[in-house]
Amino acid sequence: MKNKKTYFLAVYKAEEGGFFCKFPDWNIVDQGETLEETIENASKLLDFSAECYVEENKELPEATSGDELKNKLDKEDGEVFCIVPVVVYPPAKTERINVTLKGDVLARINDYAKKKNINRSKLMVNATLAYMREA
């Protein structure tokens, strides 16, 4: 399985305000008050769905190309507000990597991890993902 796939998210304006959205390649529908919230909610749901597929040893759906996307959209949903490409990284096997750190930095990381009762690898992964979300 590839490390990542890109799926298109069709976003519509909701009559009652806010937005609703669909991934035409998945049976996923979500909503949000703002465009940003809608995309974030849908992205999280896509990650969760991909994780479930992998746990059940199912292949992820093939991603529709931009040219084929119009044929997959339901006309009854109304006019598309925007199309957003969303990347999903399906869970994969754990990999061991080497990281080079100064001894004092490693000691600080170890002390913090011990104080928070979390293993060093998990702490470093969580910190990196939080940094990436903020960037």
Query: Cα 9 from chain centroid?
Result: 12
**126 and 76 within one domain:** no
**111 and 56 within one domain:** no
Tens-level pLDDT at each residue, the chain (135 residues): 457 899 999 999 998 999 999 999 998 999 999 999 999 999 999 999 999 988 898 889 999 987 888 888 877 778 889 999 999 988 777 788 899 999 999 999 999 999 999 999 999 988 998 898 887
**pLDDT, position 130:** 86
* DSSP for residue 27: T
Judging by beta carbons within 10 Å of its beta carbon (0-12, 13-18, 19+), is residue 30 exposed, middle or buried? buried
**81 and 122 within one domain:** no
Q: Which domain holds residue 45?
A: 5-88
- Strand (E) or helix (H) holding 123: helix 120-134
- CA 68, 71, 77 angle in degrees (round to 5)? 130
pTM over 0.85: no
Residue 98 lies inside a defined structural domain of this protein: no
